[in-house]
Copies of this chain bind each other. A is one copy, B any other.
Amino acid sequence: MFDLSKLDKTIHEKGRLGIMTLLATRPSWNFQDLKAELKLSDGNLVTHLRTLHQGGYVAITKEMLDRPQTSYALTKKGRKAFQGYLAVLEQIVKAARP
């Protein structure tokens, strides 16, 4: 019916779910845009991004333009993990609305 054990805990947390969803919509997002879109504090956002990075789901690119700019993108592994996560969400939706 649905398999909760496949519901990746690293992705499931609210803040990180938001990050992953945004990253899935574009090749890359910078720190400021993520922060504005998700309304997270600096520290909170950095921490979630680090968690995702340590899980191998997110790649980090640091540049120096006129301002420093850090950009984030899904890795191949991250994209795959997120697809698996979305598949569980769909199972849930289908189970709950037969």
A86 contacts B97, CB within 8 Å? Answer: yes
Knowing that A4-B14, A24-B97, A25-B98 are A-B contacts, what are 16 other residue pairs whose CB atoms are under 8 Å apart, sorted by A's residue number? A2-B18, A2-B21, A4-B18, A4-B38, A7-B17, A12-B14, A17-B92, A20-B96, A21-B92, A25-B96, A86-B92, A86-B96, A86-B97, A89-B89, A89-B92, A90-B93
Q: SS class of chain A's interface: helix, strand, loop or mixed?
A: helix
A25 contacts B1, CB within 8 Å? Answer: yes
Whether A95 is near chain B, meaning CB under 8 Å from some CB there, is yes
Report the Cα distance A20→B96, complex, angstroms: 9
| Residues of A in contact, count (CB < 8 Å) | 25
